[in-house]
Amino acid sequence: MLTVSEVTKAYGGKILFDNVTTTFDPGNRYGLTGANGAGKSTFMKILSGILEPDTGAVSRSPRSRMSMLHQDHSRHADDRIRDIVIMGNDKLWKAMSEKEELLQVEDMTDEIGMRLGELEGVIAEENGYEAEHESEQLLEGLGIAKEFHEQPLKVLTGGMRLRVLVAQALFGNPDILLLDEPTNHLDLDSIRWLESFLLNYTGVLVVISHDRHFLNEVCTHTADVDYENIIIYHGGYDEMLRQKIKYRISAEKHNASKQKKISELKDFIQRFGANAKKASQAQSRRRQISKINLVDLKRSNIQRPFIRFDQRVKSGKLVLRVEHLSKSFDDNHVLKGLNFTLQRGDKVAVVGPNGIGKSTLLKCLAGVHEPSRGKFQLGHEVSVGYMPQEHEDGLGDHEGKTAFDWLAQWDSKASVEEIRGLLGRMLFPAADAEKPVKALSGGETVRLLMAKLTLTKDNLLLLDEPTNHLDLESIRALTEALQRYEGTMMFVSHDQALINEVATHVLELKGERGYDMFPGTYDEFLDKTGKLAK
Protein backbone atom coordinates (compact mmCIF):
# COMPACT_ATOMS: atom_id res chain seq x y z
CA MET A 1 0.00 0.00 0.00
CA LEU A 2 1.09 3.55 -0.81
CA THR A 3 -0.44 6.14 1.53
CA VAL A 4 -0.64 9.88 0.87
CA SER A 5 -1.43 12.03 3.92
CA GLU A 6 -2.36 15.74 3.73
CA VAL A 7 0.05 16.46 0.86
CA THR A 8 0.23 19.99 -0.54
CA LYS A 9 2.47 21.29 -3.34
CA ALA A 10 2.68 24.68 -5.02
CA TYR A 11 4.99 26.24 -7.61
CA GLY A 12 5.41 29.98 -8.13
CA GLY A 13 2.32 30.75 -6.10
CA LYS A 14 0.17 28.27 -8.07
CA ILE A 15 -1.31 25.48 -5.96
CA LEU A 16 -1.10 22.15 -7.79
CA PHE A 17 -2.83 20.11 -5.09
CA ASP A 18 -3.91 21.05 -1.61
CA ASN A 19 -4.16 18.79 1.46
CA VAL A 20 -4.49 15.55 -0.54
CA THR A 21 -5.13 12.35 1.41
CA THR A 22 -5.59 9.06 -0.41
CA THR A 23 -4.28 5.50 -0.71
CA PHE A 24 -3.07 3.35 -3.61
CA ASP A 25 -3.82 -0.31 -2.91
CA PRO A 26 -2.07 -3.50 -4.14
CA GLY A 27 -3.83 -5.18 -7.05
CA ASN A 28 -5.14 -1.87 -8.35
CA ARG A 29 -3.73 -0.11 -11.40
CA TYR A 30 -4.10 3.68 -11.28
CA GLY A 31 -3.94 6.02 -14.25
CA LEU A 32 -2.72 9.46 -13.15
CA THR A 33 -4.44 12.00 -15.40
CA GLY A 34 -4.79 15.76 -15.72
CA ALA A 35 -4.08 18.65 -18.06
CA ASN A 36 -0.54 19.55 -19.08
CA GLY A 37 0.95 21.53 -16.19
CA ALA A 38 -1.58 20.20 -13.66
CA GLY A 39 1.16 18.51 -11.64
CA LYS A 40 1.04 14.82 -12.67
CA SER A 41 4.81 14.36 -12.94
CA THR A 42 5.32 16.42 -9.80
CA PHE A 43 2.95 14.15 -7.87
CA MET A 44 4.70 11.07 -9.27
CA LYS A 45 8.03 12.41 -8.01
CA ILE A 46 6.50 12.99 -4.59
CA LEU A 47 5.22 9.39 -4.53
CA SER A 48 8.72 8.14 -5.41
CA GLY A 49 10.46 10.29 -2.80
CA ILE A 50 12.44 12.25 -5.39
CA LEU A 51 10.56 15.42 -4.45
CA GLU A 52 9.37 16.55 -1.02
CA PRO A 53 5.84 17.98 -0.64
CA ASP A 54 5.39 21.42 0.91
CA THR A 55 3.34 19.76 3.66
CA GLY A 56 2.21 16.22 4.37
CA ALA A 57 3.89 12.88 3.78
CA VAL A 58 3.92 9.70 1.67
CA SER A 59 4.44 6.33 3.38
CA ARG A 60 4.74 2.68 2.36
CA SER A 61 5.69 -0.61 3.94
CA PRO A 62 9.43 -0.63 4.74
CA ARG A 63 9.77 -4.08 3.13
CA SER A 64 8.07 -3.10 -0.13
CA ARG A 65 10.24 -2.50 -3.19
CA MET A 66 9.44 0.48 -5.40
CA SER A 67 10.49 0.83 -9.03
CA MET A 68 10.17 3.95 -11.17
CA LEU A 69 10.71 4.57 -14.87
CA HIS A 70 13.72 6.87 -15.31
CA GLN A 71 13.89 8.69 -18.64
CA ASP A 72 17.57 9.67 -18.30
CA HIS A 73 19.51 7.05 -20.27
CA SER A 74 22.79 9.00 -20.51
CA ARG A 75 24.16 7.58 -17.25
CA HIS A 76 23.96 4.03 -18.64
CA ALA A 77 25.54 4.69 -22.05
CA ASP A 78 28.50 2.32 -21.52
CA ASP A 79 26.66 -0.34 -19.50
CA ARG A 80 25.62 -3.66 -20.97
CA ILE A 81 21.92 -3.64 -21.91
CA ARG A 82 21.06 -6.84 -20.06
CA ASP A 83 22.80 -5.54 -16.92
CA ILE A 84 20.86 -2.26 -17.06
CA VAL A 85 17.62 -4.21 -16.83
CA ILE A 86 18.81 -6.23 -13.82
CA MET A 87 19.84 -2.97 -12.13
CA GLY A 88 16.10 -2.40 -11.73
CA ASN A 89 16.41 -4.54 -8.59
CA ASP A 90 19.11 -2.61 -6.74
CA LYS A 91 19.46 -5.15 -3.94
CA LEU A 92 19.97 -8.02 -6.38
CA TRP A 93 22.35 -6.07 -8.62
CA LYS A 94 24.57 -5.06 -5.70
CA ALA A 95 24.70 -8.66 -4.46
CA MET A 96 25.56 -9.99 -7.94
CA SER A 97 28.23 -7.32 -8.47
CA GLU A 98 29.86 -7.94 -5.10
CA LYS A 99 29.82 -11.70 -5.73
CA GLU A 100 31.63 -11.23 -9.06
CA GLU A 101 34.24 -9.01 -7.39
CA LEU A 102 34.87 -11.51 -4.59
CA LEU A 103 35.20 -14.40 -7.04
CA GLN A 104 38.10 -12.54 -8.67
CA VAL A 105 40.07 -12.48 -5.41
CA GLU A 106 43.02 -14.87 -5.63
CA ASP A 107 43.43 -15.58 -1.90
CA MET A 108 40.08 -16.96 -0.78
CA THR A 109 39.60 -16.60 3.00
CA ASP A 110 36.96 -17.97 5.36
CA GLU A 111 35.61 -14.47 5.72
CA ILE A 112 35.21 -14.12 1.95
CA GLY A 113 33.64 -17.57 1.79
CA MET A 114 31.10 -16.64 4.45
CA ARG A 115 30.31 -13.40 2.63
CA LEU A 116 29.82 -15.30 -0.63
CA GLY A 117 27.37 -17.57 1.20
CA GLU A 118 25.43 -14.52 2.43
CA LEU A 119 25.35 -13.08 -1.09
CA GLU A 120 24.12 -16.37 -2.53
CA GLY A 121 21.25 -16.18 -0.04
CA VAL A 122 20.35 -12.66 -1.15
CA ILE A 123 20.54 -13.65 -4.83
CA ALA A 124 18.30 -16.67 -4.26
CA GLU A 125 15.82 -14.60 -2.23
CA GLU A 126 15.62 -12.04 -5.04
CA ASN A 127 15.15 -14.75 -7.69
CA GLY A 128 18.55 -13.85 -9.13
CA TYR A 129 19.08 -17.17 -10.88
CA GLU A 130 16.21 -16.30 -13.22
CA ALA A 131 17.44 -12.72 -13.71
CA GLU A 132 19.06 -13.16 -17.12
CA HIS A 133 16.09 -15.07 -18.50
CA GLU A 134 13.61 -12.50 -17.15
CA SER A 135 15.63 -9.57 -18.53
CA GLU A 136 15.73 -11.20 -21.97
CA GLN A 137 11.97 -11.75 -21.97
CA LEU A 138 11.35 -8.11 -21.03
CA LEU A 139 13.73 -6.78 -23.67
CA GLU A 140 12.34 -8.95 -26.43
CA GLY A 141 8.76 -8.08 -25.49
CA LEU A 142 9.67 -4.41 -25.83
CA GLY A 143 11.26 -4.94 -29.24
CA ILE A 144 14.97 -5.12 -28.31
CA ALA A 145 16.39 -8.01 -30.35
CA LYS A 146 18.55 -10.62 -28.58
CA GLU A 147 21.60 -9.62 -30.62
CA PHE A 148 21.78 -6.34 -28.67
CA HIS A 149 21.46 -7.72 -25.12
CA GLU A 150 25.22 -8.10 -24.57
CA GLN A 151 26.08 -4.73 -26.16
CA PRO A 152 26.37 -1.32 -24.45
CA LEU A 153 23.32 0.92 -24.40
CA LYS A 154 24.98 3.53 -26.62
CA VAL A 155 24.59 1.27 -29.70
CA LEU A 156 20.82 1.91 -29.61
CA THR A 157 18.93 5.00 -30.78
CA GLY A 158 17.34 7.31 -28.22
CA GLY A 159 13.85 5.78 -28.49
CA MET A 160 15.18 2.23 -28.18
CA ARG A 161 17.28 3.22 -25.16
CA LEU A 162 14.14 4.34 -23.38
CA ARG A 163 12.66 0.89 -23.99
CA VAL A 164 15.55 -0.58 -22.03
CA LEU A 165 14.67 1.72 -19.13
CA VAL A 166 11.05 0.55 -19.30
CA ALA A 167 12.35 -3.04 -19.01
CA GLN A 168 14.49 -1.94 -16.05
CA ALA A 169 11.43 -0.51 -14.27
CA LEU A 170 9.40 -3.70 -14.85
CA PHE A 171 12.18 -6.08 -13.80
CA GLY A 172 11.87 -8.20 -10.68
CA ASN A 173 8.16 -7.78 -9.96
CA PRO A 174 8.41 -4.69 -7.70
CA ASP A 175 5.68 -4.13 -5.08
CA ILE A 176 5.09 -0.56 -6.29
CA LEU A 177 5.55 0.45 -9.93
CA LEU A 178 5.57 4.12 -11.03
CA LEU A 179 5.57 4.70 -14.81
CA ASP A 180 5.66 8.16 -16.40
CA GLU A 181 4.75 7.92 -20.12
CA PRO A 182 5.96 4.31 -20.59
CA THR A 183 4.48 4.08 -24.12
CA ASN A 184 6.66 6.89 -25.49
CA HIS A 185 8.79 5.51 -28.36
CA LEU A 186 7.00 2.14 -28.31
CA ASP A 187 5.46 0.81 -31.49
CA LEU A 188 1.94 -0.61 -31.39
CA ASP A 189 3.05 -4.23 -30.96
CA SER A 190 5.22 -3.28 -27.98
CA ILE A 191 2.39 -1.23 -26.46
CA ARG A 192 0.08 -4.25 -26.66
CA TRP A 193 2.79 -6.40 -25.05
CA LEU A 194 3.15 -3.87 -22.23
CA GLU A 195 -0.63 -3.81 -21.73
CA SER A 196 -0.63 -7.59 -21.39
CA PHE A 197 2.29 -7.49 -18.92
CA LEU A 198 0.64 -4.87 -16.72
CA LEU A 199 -2.72 -6.66 -16.71
CA ASN A 200 -0.94 -9.51 -14.92
CA TYR A 201 0.87 -7.23 -12.46
CA THR A 202 -0.36 -7.65 -8.87
CA GLY A 203 1.36 -4.78 -7.04
CA VAL A 204 0.49 -1.07 -6.88
CA LEU A 205 0.73 0.51 -10.34
CA VAL A 206 0.57 4.28 -10.91
CA VAL A 207 0.99 5.28 -14.56
CA ILE A 208 0.92 8.56 -16.48
CA SER A 209 0.03 8.22 -20.15
CA HIS A 210 -1.52 10.29 -22.94
CA ASP A 211 -2.69 7.09 -24.66
CA ARG A 212 -6.43 6.82 -23.91
CA HIS A 213 -6.72 3.23 -25.16
CA PHE A 214 -3.79 2.19 -22.95
CA LEU A 215 -5.39 3.78 -19.86
CA ASN A 216 -8.78 2.26 -20.58
CA GLU A 217 -7.25 -1.16 -21.18
CA VAL A 218 -4.87 -1.30 -18.22
CA CYS A 219 -6.28 0.80 -15.38
CA THR A 220 -8.75 -0.33 -12.72
CA HIS A 221 -8.84 3.19 -11.25
CA THR A 222 -8.07 6.74 -12.38
CA ALA A 223 -6.47 9.34 -10.10
CA ASP A 224 -7.37 12.70 -11.64
CA VAL A 225 -5.34 15.82 -10.84
CA ASP A 226 -7.79 18.74 -11.02
CA TYR A 227 -9.48 21.39 -8.87
CA GLU A 228 -6.28 21.54 -6.73
CA ASN A 229 -7.04 17.99 -5.64
CA ILE A 230 -6.49 14.36 -6.61
CA ILE A 231 -9.73 12.42 -6.85
CA ILE A 232 -9.74 8.66 -7.43
CA TYR A 233 -12.45 7.19 -9.66
CA HIS A 234 -13.20 3.55 -10.46
CA GLY A 235 -12.42 2.51 -14.03
CA GLY A 236 -10.25 3.75 -16.87
CA TYR A 237 -10.02 7.21 -18.40
CA ASP A 238 -13.34 7.22 -20.27
CA GLU A 239 -15.24 5.96 -17.22
CA MET A 240 -13.54 8.60 -15.03
CA LEU A 241 -14.60 11.31 -17.48
CA ARG A 242 -18.23 10.16 -17.39
CA GLN A 243 -18.26 10.14 -13.59
CA LYS A 244 -16.49 13.49 -13.38
CA ILE A 245 -18.90 15.22 -15.77
CA LYS A 246 -21.92 13.62 -14.06
CA TYR A 247 -20.76 14.83 -10.63
CA ARG A 248 -20.00 18.34 -11.90
CA ILE A 249 -23.41 18.70 -13.55
CA SER A 250 -25.16 17.38 -10.44
CA ALA A 251 -23.19 19.71 -8.13
CA GLU A 252 -23.91 22.73 -10.36
CA LYS A 253 -27.64 21.89 -10.37
CA HIS A 254 -27.69 21.53 -6.58
CA ASN A 255 -25.83 24.83 -6.19
CA ALA A 256 -28.26 26.56 -8.58
CA SER A 257 -31.21 25.20 -6.60
CA LYS A 258 -29.67 26.33 -3.32
CA GLN A 259 -28.83 29.77 -4.75
CA LYS A 260 -32.46 30.14 -5.82
CA LYS A 261 -33.59 29.24 -2.31
CA ILE A 262 -31.12 31.73 -0.78
CA SER A 263 -32.40 34.46 -3.13
CA GLU A 264 -35.99 33.77 -2.09
CA LEU A 265 -35.07 33.91 1.57
CA LYS A 266 -33.08 37.12 1.13
CA ASP A 267 -35.96 38.66 -0.80
CA PHE A 268 -38.31 37.94 2.12
CA ILE A 269 -35.82 39.41 4.62
CA GLN A 270 -35.39 42.55 2.50
CA ARG A 271 -39.15 43.03 2.20
CA PHE A 272 -40.18 42.25 5.74
CA GLY A 273 -37.03 42.54 7.86
CA ALA A 274 -38.09 45.97 9.21
CA ASN A 275 -41.65 44.81 9.88
CA ALA A 276 -42.01 44.19 13.62
CA LYS A 277 -44.85 41.70 13.09
CA LYS A 278 -42.67 39.52 10.85
CA ALA A 279 -39.32 40.03 12.58
CA SER A 280 -39.29 36.49 13.95
CA GLN A 281 -40.00 35.06 10.46
CA ALA A 282 -37.17 37.15 9.00
CA GLN A 283 -34.82 35.93 11.72
CA SER A 284 -35.87 32.33 10.99
CA ARG A 285 -34.97 32.81 7.33
CA ARG A 286 -31.57 34.21 8.26
CA ARG A 287 -30.93 31.00 10.21
CA GLN A 288 -32.04 28.95 7.19
CA ILE A 289 -29.55 30.82 4.96
CA SER A 290 -26.71 30.11 7.39
CA LYS A 291 -27.45 26.38 7.19
CA ILE A 292 -27.38 26.19 3.38
CA ASN A 293 -23.95 24.94 2.25
CA LEU A 294 -22.90 25.40 -1.36
CA VAL A 295 -20.50 22.92 -2.95
CA ASP A 296 -17.12 24.59 -3.51
CA LEU A 297 -16.76 24.21 -7.28
CA LYS A 298 -13.21 25.24 -8.02
CA ARG A 299 -12.33 26.00 -11.61
CA SER A 300 -11.04 23.03 -13.60
CA ASN A 301 -7.55 23.34 -15.08
CA ILE A 302 -8.59 21.27 -18.11
CA GLN A 303 -8.82 23.19 -21.37
CA ARG A 304 -9.82 21.77 -24.69
CA PRO A 305 -8.88 23.25 -28.07
CA PHE A 306 -11.50 23.60 -30.77
CA ILE A 307 -10.08 21.86 -33.85
CA ARG A 308 -11.72 21.78 -37.27
CA PHE A 309 -10.22 20.79 -40.60
CA ASP A 310 -12.10 21.88 -43.73
CA GLN A 311 -11.35 21.61 -47.44
CA ARG A 312 -11.03 24.69 -49.63
CA VAL A 313 -12.05 22.58 -52.63
CA LYS A 314 -13.11 18.95 -52.97
CA SER A 315 -10.61 16.71 -54.74
CA GLY A 316 -11.36 14.29 -57.56
CA LYS A 317 -12.44 10.76 -56.70
CA LEU A 318 -8.89 9.38 -57.18
CA VAL A 319 -6.70 11.27 -54.72
CA LEU A 320 -3.37 9.42 -54.90
CA ARG A 321 -1.80 6.68 -57.00
CA VAL A 322 1.47 5.08 -55.79
CA GLU A 323 3.36 2.86 -58.24
CA HIS A 324 6.39 0.69 -57.36
CA LEU A 325 7.57 3.30 -54.84
CA SER A 326 10.91 2.46 -53.21
CA LYS A 327 13.25 4.44 -51.00
CA SER A 328 16.81 3.61 -49.96
CA PHE A 329 19.42 5.42 -47.92
CA ASP A 330 22.78 4.11 -49.12
CA ASP A 331 22.47 0.32 -48.63
CA ASN A 332 19.47 0.57 -46.33
CA HIS A 333 16.33 -0.31 -48.29
CA VAL A 334 13.53 1.29 -46.26
CA LEU A 335 10.59 1.06 -48.68
CA LYS A 336 10.33 -1.40 -51.52
CA GLY A 337 7.79 -1.63 -54.35
CA LEU A 338 4.71 -0.03 -52.78
CA ASN A 339 1.59 0.00 -54.95
CA PHE A 340 -1.71 1.43 -53.72
CA THR A 341 -4.33 4.08 -54.40
CA LEU A 342 -6.30 6.43 -52.17
CA GLN A 343 -9.88 7.31 -52.96
CA ARG A 344 -11.58 10.49 -51.74
CA GLY A 345 -12.55 10.09 -48.08
CA ASP A 346 -10.09 7.28 -47.31
CA LYS A 347 -8.35 7.62 -43.95
CA VAL A 348 -5.32 5.33 -43.89
CA ALA A 349 -3.34 4.49 -40.75
CA VAL A 350 0.24 3.43 -41.55
CA VAL A 351 1.46 0.86 -39.01
CA GLY A 352 4.50 -1.31 -38.45
CA PRO A 353 7.52 -1.56 -36.12
CA ASN A 354 9.66 1.50 -35.44
CA GLY A 355 12.21 2.02 -38.20
CA ILE A 356 10.15 0.20 -40.83
CA GLY A 357 9.66 3.32 -42.99
CA LYS A 358 6.37 4.89 -41.91
CA SER A 359 7.74 8.44 -41.63
CA THR A 360 9.82 7.92 -44.76
CA LEU A 361 6.67 7.08 -46.75
CA LEU A 362 4.92 10.26 -45.62
CA LYS A 363 8.02 12.32 -46.39
CA CYS A 364 8.10 10.91 -49.92
CA LEU A 365 4.43 11.73 -50.48
CA ALA A 366 4.92 15.23 -49.00
CA GLY A 367 7.86 15.93 -51.32
CA VAL A 368 10.48 16.03 -48.56
CA HIS A 369 12.24 12.93 -50.00
CA GLU A 370 12.57 11.86 -53.61
CA PRO A 371 11.69 8.18 -54.16
CA SER A 372 14.69 6.05 -55.18
CA ARG A 373 12.47 4.19 -57.62
CA GLY A 374 8.85 4.32 -58.71
CA LYS A 375 6.54 7.30 -58.51
CA PHE A 376 3.32 8.68 -57.09
CA GLN A 377 0.71 10.91 -58.67
CA LEU A 378 -1.77 13.26 -57.03
CA GLY A 379 -5.32 13.38 -58.36
CA HIS A 380 -7.38 16.29 -59.65
CA GLU A 381 -7.44 19.41 -57.42
CA VAL A 382 -5.49 17.66 -54.64
CA SER A 383 -3.66 19.90 -52.18
CA VAL A 384 -1.43 18.39 -49.50
CA GLY A 385 -1.18 19.42 -45.84
CA TYR A 386 1.76 17.79 -44.05
CA MET A 387 2.66 17.66 -40.36
CA PRO A 388 6.09 16.06 -39.78
CA GLN A 389 7.01 14.09 -36.68
CA GLU A 390 9.87 16.51 -36.04
CA HIS A 391 7.88 19.65 -35.35
CA GLU A 392 10.85 21.93 -35.91
CA ASP A 393 10.81 20.84 -39.56
CA GLY A 394 7.16 21.83 -39.85
CA LEU A 395 7.87 25.33 -38.55
CA GLY A 396 10.39 26.11 -41.29
CA ASP A 397 12.01 29.54 -41.08
CA HIS A 398 10.52 31.10 -37.95
CA GLU A 399 13.44 33.23 -36.79
CA GLY A 400 12.11 36.39 -35.13
CA LYS A 401 8.46 35.43 -35.67
CA THR A 402 5.75 35.35 -33.02
CA ALA A 403 3.02 32.70 -33.04
CA PHE A 404 0.70 35.28 -34.63
CA ASP A 405 3.22 36.27 -37.32
CA TRP A 406 3.99 32.67 -38.21
CA LEU A 407 0.34 31.68 -38.55
CA ALA A 408 -0.75 34.80 -40.45
CA GLN A 409 1.70 34.07 -43.29
CA TRP A 410 -0.37 31.04 -44.41
CA ASP A 411 -3.43 33.08 -45.38
CA SER A 412 -2.86 36.63 -46.55
CA LYS A 413 -6.64 37.22 -46.78
CA ALA A 414 -7.30 36.38 -43.13
CA SER A 415 -7.92 39.39 -40.89
CA VAL A 416 -6.13 40.05 -37.60
CA GLU A 417 -9.34 39.14 -35.76
CA GLU A 418 -9.61 35.82 -37.62
CA ILE A 419 -6.00 34.85 -36.84
CA ARG A 420 -6.34 35.82 -33.18
CA GLY A 421 -9.66 33.99 -32.95
CA LEU A 422 -8.09 30.84 -34.38
CA LEU A 423 -5.18 31.09 -31.95
CA GLY A 424 -7.64 31.51 -29.09
CA ARG A 425 -9.52 28.37 -30.12
CA MET A 426 -6.15 26.57 -30.13
CA LEU A 427 -5.55 27.69 -26.52
CA PHE A 428 -3.29 30.66 -27.27
CA PRO A 429 -4.66 33.57 -25.18
CA ALA A 430 -3.95 37.09 -26.39
CA ALA A 431 -0.59 37.37 -24.61
CA ASP A 432 0.62 34.00 -25.90
CA ALA A 433 -0.15 35.00 -29.49
CA GLU A 434 2.85 37.32 -29.20
CA LYS A 435 5.13 34.62 -27.80
CA PRO A 436 8.20 33.91 -30.00
CA VAL A 437 7.83 30.64 -31.92
CA LYS A 438 11.22 29.48 -30.62
CA ALA A 439 9.89 29.74 -27.04
CA LEU A 440 6.81 27.55 -27.58
CA SER A 441 6.41 24.29 -25.69
CA GLY A 442 5.95 20.97 -27.48
CA GLY A 443 2.18 21.06 -27.04
CA GLU A 444 1.95 24.69 -28.19
CA THR A 445 3.99 23.88 -31.30
CA VAL A 446 1.67 21.01 -32.26
CA ARG A 447 -1.40 23.19 -31.79
CA LEU A 448 0.19 25.91 -33.93
CA LEU A 449 0.88 23.42 -36.73
CA MET A 450 -2.73 22.24 -36.53
CA ALA A 451 -3.88 25.87 -36.73
CA LYS A 452 -1.92 26.16 -39.97
CA LEU A 453 -3.78 23.16 -41.45
CA THR A 454 -7.04 24.82 -40.39
CA LEU A 455 -6.07 27.86 -42.47
CA THR A 456 -4.71 26.10 -45.55
CA LYS A 457 -7.81 23.85 -45.86
CA ASP A 458 -6.04 21.03 -47.71
CA ASN A 459 -7.99 18.01 -48.98
CA LEU A 460 -5.18 15.45 -48.40
CA LEU A 461 -3.63 15.43 -44.92
CA LEU A 462 -0.36 13.60 -44.16
CA LEU A 463 0.07 13.52 -40.38
CA ASP A 464 3.09 11.97 -38.67
CA GLU A 465 2.51 11.39 -34.94
CA PRO A 466 0.13 14.36 -34.53
CA THR A 467 -0.65 13.48 -30.88
CA ASN A 468 2.94 13.94 -29.67
CA HIS A 469 3.07 16.42 -26.74
CA LEU A 470 -0.73 16.76 -26.56
CA ASP A 471 -2.67 16.07 -23.38
CA LEU A 472 -5.64 13.69 -23.32
CA GLU A 473 -8.30 16.36 -23.88
CA SER A 474 -6.42 17.78 -26.88
CA ILE A 475 -6.03 14.27 -28.31
CA ARG A 476 -9.78 13.69 -27.94
CA ALA A 477 -10.46 17.00 -29.70
CA LEU A 478 -8.07 16.04 -32.51
CA THR A 479 -9.64 12.58 -32.84
CA GLU A 480 -13.11 14.08 -33.20
CA ALA A 481 -11.85 16.64 -35.73
CA LEU A 482 -10.27 13.90 -37.87
CA GLN A 483 -13.47 11.84 -37.67
CA ARG A 484 -15.46 14.84 -38.98
CA TYR A 485 -12.91 15.71 -41.68
CA GLU A 486 -14.42 15.02 -45.12
CA GLY A 487 -11.15 14.95 -47.02
CA THR A 488 -8.58 12.18 -47.42
CA MET A 489 -5.74 11.42 -45.04
CA MET A 490 -2.80 9.16 -44.35
CA PHE A 491 -1.39 9.20 -40.84
CA VAL A 492 1.12 7.58 -38.51
CA SER A 493 0.28 7.33 -34.81
CA HIS A 494 0.99 5.17 -31.78
CA ASP A 495 -2.32 6.28 -30.22
CA GLN A 496 -4.48 3.18 -30.53
CA ALA A 497 -7.78 4.92 -29.74
CA LEU A 498 -7.19 7.54 -32.44
CA ILE A 499 -6.27 4.89 -35.02
CA ASN A 500 -9.30 2.74 -34.31
CA GLU A 501 -11.75 5.65 -34.23
CA VAL A 502 -10.44 7.41 -37.34
CA ALA A 503 -8.93 4.90 -39.80
CA THR A 504 -11.00 3.38 -42.60
CA HIS A 505 -7.95 1.45 -43.91
CA VAL A 506 -4.71 0.12 -42.41
CA LEU A 507 -1.47 0.04 -44.40
CA GLU A 508 0.93 -2.36 -42.67
CA LEU A 509 4.60 -2.03 -43.65
CA LYS A 510 6.48 -5.28 -43.10
CA GLY A 511 9.99 -4.58 -44.39
CA GLU A 512 11.41 -7.47 -46.40
CA ARG A 513 8.02 -9.21 -46.16
CA GLY A 514 6.38 -6.42 -48.15
CA TYR A 515 3.19 -4.66 -47.10
CA ASP A 516 -0.59 -5.11 -46.85
CA MET A 517 -3.41 -2.61 -47.40
CA PHE A 518 -6.34 -3.69 -45.22
CA PRO A 519 -9.83 -2.14 -45.71
CA GLY A 520 -11.41 -1.68 -42.28
CA THR A 521 -10.81 -0.40 -38.77
CA TYR A 522 -7.72 -1.10 -36.73
CA ASP A 523 -9.56 -3.55 -34.46
CA GLU A 524 -10.80 -5.41 -37.54
CA PHE A 525 -7.23 -5.48 -38.85
CA LEU A 526 -5.95 -6.90 -35.55
CA ASP A 527 -8.72 -9.50 -35.51
CA LYS A 528 -8.06 -10.52 -39.11
CA THR A 529 -4.30 -10.82 -38.59
CA GLY A 530 -4.65 -12.66 -35.27
CA LYS A 531 -3.10 -9.82 -33.25
CA LEU A 532 -6.18 -8.79 -31.29
CA ALA A 533 -5.92 -11.42 -28.56
CA LYS A 534 -3.53 -10.65 -25.73
Cβ proximity of 38 and 301 under 8 Å: yes
379 Cβ contact partners less than 8 Å away, ≥ 6 residues apart: 315, 316, 317, 318, 319, 320, 321
CATH class of the domain comprising 1-64+175-301: alpha beta
* Eight-class DSSP state of 50: S
Determine the pLDDT at residue 297: 62
Determine the pLDDT at residue 3: 92
Single-letter amino acid code for the residue at 354: N
318-528 placed in CATH 3.40.50.300: yes
Nearest CA-CA partner of 508 in 364, 376, 361, 410: 361
> How many contiguous H segments (helices) and E segments (strands) does the chain have?
18, 18
Tens of pLDDT, residues 261-293: 888 888 888 877 677 667 788 788 788 888 888
What are the structural domain ranges in the chain? 1-64+175-301, 318-528
CATH topology of 1-64+175-301 equal to that of 318-528?
A: yes
Tens of pLDDT, residues 70-101: 777 677 888 999 999 999 998 999 999 888 88
Strands (E), 136-248: 176-180, 204-208, 221-226, 229-234
Q: Give the residues of the chain that fall short of pLDDT 70.
A: 73, 273, 276-277, 295-301, 532-534
Determine the pLDDT at residue 465: 92
SS3 533: coil
Global model pTM greater than 0.95: no
- What residues does 320 pair with on adjacent strands? 342, 378
